[in-house]
Chains A and B, each alone.
Chain A
Amino acid sequence: MSARTFGRLSGKLVMRRDRAPAKFRGRRFALVAASVTVLVAAGCGGSDDDGSSGGTTTLTFVNAQDPGTFDKVIASFEAANPTIKIKQQAVPFDDLNTTVQSRLGSKDPSIDLYDVDEPRLAAFAARGFLEPLDDLRQQAEGKIDPNALKITTYNDKQYAMPRWTSSQLLYFNKDLLAKAKVPAPSSDPASPMTWEDVTAAAKKAQAAGAKNGLIWDQVDRYYQLQPLAESAGGGPGLKGDKLLEADVTNAGWTRAFTWYHSVFQEGVAPRGINPEQTPSLFANGETAFFAGGPWNSAAFDKDKTVDYGVAPAPAFAGGRPATSTDSWSTGISPFSKHKDAAKKFISYMTIDPTGATETTSNNIPVQKDAFRTYLDTLSAKGERYKQMADIIEYALANTSVSRPVTVGYVDVESTMNKAFADIRNGTAAPDRLAQANDEINRALEKYSR
């Protein structure tokens, strides 16, 4: 800085000081700083982790559902139980497991109930993040689908109450198939197309102008791709009595994912599209086949751009039909101070027919009465929905394959999701599956270390 600048600066300095004594200004700064601190401190509300005041218990329910999902069930539960209030902490879907695990890991007592992704239940239970609910299990016997109760059991203890399940089907674009003179797939739940036929039909549709032949809803996620291997006889990808040994290089896995690779390699399915964006490919009317869940229909109906039909989820030629299943359950934190009130709410939400129906939203309830109500409501919406209801009912009873119940599920899922993405993007399936096999074994090693 030049001497000239310095002169100007000190001039200003002198001029300024004439207005206020230095000491006072310094003190004023301290004052401002102090008042800011007070202000900030005042702005933060105190937290009541205890949750009960004046005879009312407030339960904190952590979940990742769309806003409004639980409004009805909470309102009617609170009306019947005036001393219990339910407060929801909605977390973005992708962050639910992260935040719940981190908070329970530090023994956060402010979570009473939380949503448990069913394949993660074993790990949560093994970590001591779930309160056993065997008394609720007694009540649920005969009222909730036994498969759902089984999947929420770990080491013979009930650790969460299942709320919903899920299933898979094949959507097809009627116009694109008609243009290609491909007959529409049958909606008979017991006679699914083969993946080989779907590929051939998809190619014809593309030849007749369809931009894409086929796309999955969750292109690189274990949830939707496990059934491919299961259908080809490959099993869930894990073996051993505790399911802690990788098994993704067997003939079934290799067949299924060599085919999956070729579908993208040949351009029947488009590469490089995130799972979030795949439904828009079908909703836009530019894709012939869409493998997804019943929930996808809401988005397709909203846009009304596409005239679509539904068929059962395909299987490999000579293989057995296999469909994804399971969904969310609700469990109680062992650090909760209001376990009895929490049980009351869970019981109402999952076992009570009215409560379970109020909780249905656009999901498939596992409570038996609520399930009937769901199917009836769906069927009443029209011909296509009647077909959808039949397909769902049949698949849940006959072709559903659950994800493996093991503490190591997360390791398998995150490893396989990456492998699926690589195979889709062009890496040869046998090599990538061999690599994934090693990675899974390495990750699972820590459980026996």
Chain B
Amino acid sequence: MVTTPDTRTAPRSARRLGGGRGRRSGRRRYGDLPIALTFLLPAVIAAVVLRLWPTARAVWDSLRSTPLGVEPTRWVGLDQFRWLIDDPAFLNSLKVTLLFGIIVNPLQIAVALVLAVIFNERIRGAGLMRTLVFLPVAIPQSVSAVIWAVAFRPDGPLNGILDRLGIAPQGFLTSPGQALPSIILVVSWIGVGYWMMFLIAGLKEIDPTLYEAAGLDGAGRWARFRHVTVPQLRRQLAFVLVADTISNLLVFAPVQILTNGGPNGRTNLIMNDVFERAYTQVDVGAASAATVVVVVIALAIVLVQFRLLSRGSD
């Protein structure tokens, strides 16, 4: 830990006076470093030991190859990535993941926002209702997959309902065109209530007087939503945007159980591909390389999002 010689002599309040975020002036070199480290260290150690170090291992492994997934390994360097990029299955999984991400993220955030606004109203039983909407995330994903495997059966309840409405039966998971939308439905059923909860927490923070003021200005429902709710909710929306995008990039359990990437690779999301390389084929090198690709993509997404968000906040 770094020692700061200065802090003990200075009056405590003086140290911090005028030290609001972004407006610091005349601060000493190390600032609040010692105290900051005591706050930070447990989390940083956890992040480094439990996440970054094993990832460093994965980067190392990605440059080596072993046909059977065990020692001894041999150096192959970037050839590993070349083999990966040459693999049509991997390329396909990138494409599917991109398509999935473009649809599922805006969809989930929009639906979560609408639900948050509805369940934030002072209506009877709102608490129970939003708890029910949240619940799907609480059961094991393997069970969610079982439930939807039954629901999507060609002779199952969903087609039963369509039949009552006079609509012809659909293929759902068996149809190359409908499988990905079906997966999107399942992961949204699981996730939307979860993200909604964060947005409701944000809505609760909005000062009601802002709505009163907007109302006095004659703003309608939509105008109030547009000019009060959305800007006031910016922080929570930013969190949901980033966290939801990353979570969706890492989805695989429902895919693995419901379609195993099929039909014809149409639902082979990238993490399903990684999982199969790592745990089924035990191709440690290729699995690590694919993991590195996933992390790089995630990093790129988050950097772009942070840039957009910081620009939007000016």
Residues of A within 8 A of B (CB): 1-2, 5, 97-98, 101-102, 105, 123, 126-129, 211, 270-274, 276-277, 407, 410-411, 414, 417-418, 421-422, 424-427, 432, 439, 442-443, 446-449
Contacts and interface: CB of A to CB of B under 8 A. Distances in A.
A89 to B, nearest CB: 18
Nearest to A442: B87
A407 B149 CA distance: 33
A277 B149 contact: yes
A105 B280 contact: no
24 contacts: A1-B207, A101-B282, A102-B279, A105-B70, A123-B68, A127-B69, A211-B155, A270-B154, A270-B155, A272-B172, A272-B173, A276-B146, A277-B149, A277-B153, A410-B280, A410-B281, A417-B260, A418-B260, A418-B262, A425-B175, A432-B264, A439-B89, A443-B281, A449-B65
Contacts of B279: 98, 101-102
Q: Is the interface of B mostly helix, strand, loop or mixed?
A: loop
Interface centre among A127, A407, A425 (most CB of B within 10 A): A425
Given A101-B279, A273-B153, A414-B276, 4 more contacts: A272-B174, A273-B154, A410-B280, A442-B87
Contacts of B68: 123, 126-127, 407, 447
Interface in B259-312: 260-264, 276, 279-284, 286
A333 to B, nearest CB: 13
Q: Is the interface of A mostly helix, strand, loop or mixed?
A: helix
A407 B281 CA distance: 11
B280 A449 contact: no
A446 B283 CA distance: 9
Nearest to A420: B262
A421 B146 CA distance: 17
B209 interface: yes
Contacts of A123: 68, 282
Contacts of A273: 153-154
Interface centre among B175, B260, B282 (most CB of A within 10 A): B282
B171 interface: yes
B262 A101 contact: no
A443 B286 CA distance: 11
Nearest to A33: B42
A277 B149 CA distance: 9
Interface of B: 65, 67-70, 87, 89, 146, 149-150, 152-155, 171-175, 207, 209, 260-264, 276, 279-284, 286
Contact of B280 (A5, A98, A126): A98
A271 B171 contact: yes
B291 to A, nearest CB: 15
Nearest to A92: B142
Contacts of B89: 439
A105 B146 CA distance: 31
Given A2-B207, A271-B154, A273-B153, A414 B70 contact: no
The 7 closest A-B pairs by CB, nearest first: A425-B174, A272-B174, A272-B154, A98-B279, A127-B68, A127-B70, A425-B263
A271 B172 CA distance: 11
B247 to A, nearest CB: 23
A105 B73 CA distance: 13
B83 to A, nearest CB: 8
B123 to A, nearest CB: 26
Contacts of A270: 154-155
A127 B149 CA distance: 36
Contacts of B263: 421-422, 425-427
Contacts of B261: 418
Nearest to A264: B174
Nearest to B283: A446
